[in-house]
Amino acid sequence: MTRPLGIILAGGRATRMGGGDKGLLDVGGQTLLARVIARLGSQVAGIALNANGDAARFEAFGLPVLPDSVAGFPGPLAGVLAGLDWAAQQGADAIVTVAADTPFFPLDLVDRLQAIADGMDNPLVLAATPDGRQPTFGLWPVALRDDLRAALADGLRKIVMWTDGHGGRQAMFDDPGEPFFNVNTPDDLVYARALQEAGG
């Protein structure tokens, strides 16, 4: 299976953090976004960033910045769609999405998602832990982008409703530690810094 393209989802409004870009917060001398790029880069064929607003604030990262094509901040599925449309322009068959505020996700994420997708006509796999699915971490087929566009236009917002409707699978990650810990609040940021110092 060829390497998919990677999409970092950073299109949210970070309301619990008081607004702004969570990906630009510092953890151990690096931004969250820089940490995510470093973890994802070796796993994919190329990376783009899904974010809304002025793209210039991400210029230092040297990535294509893809805004949502659906108005009104409809959630992560809009970022997935933006990534699928970009991937289609690149001639790619699939993307893997990761969240910009989750700096410790597995370094073999893509391999494990692709392994579960083996034999699927349209590879559609979400990461999961014993606590439940991690729906912003997934493998998505470019072939279903117009179906997703129609679902968003009809008001669908919940990722798992769409993936379940297309026979999506899940890849279980029961790794030690907290690989999918994400930074939503100021307290989470303090904890992420502690995890990083402890070698998280």
pLDDT at position 63 is 97
pLDDT at position 12 is 60
pLDDT at position 113 is 98
CATH architecture of the domain formed by 5-197: Alpha-Beta Complex (3.90)
pTM, rounded to two decimals = 0.93
pLDDT at position 200 is 60
Q: Which two tokens stand for residue 163?
A: 């993936």
Q: What is the DSSP letter of 29?
A: T
pLDDT in tens, the chain (200 residues): 799 999 999 976 544 444 568 888 899 899 999 999 999 999 999 999 999 989 999 999 999 999 998 887 788 999 999 999 999 999 999 999 999 999 999 999 999 999 999 999 999 999 999 999 999 999 999 999 999 999 999 999 999 999 999 999 999 999 888 899 999 888 999 989 998 888 76
Residue 94 belongs to what H/E stretch? Answer: strand 94-99
- Cβ contact 96:6 at 8 Å: yes
Q: Where are the domains of the chain?
A: 5-197
Residues 6 or more apart whose CB falls under 8 angstroms from that of 143 comprise 93, 122
- Cβ contact 173:128 at 8 Å: yes
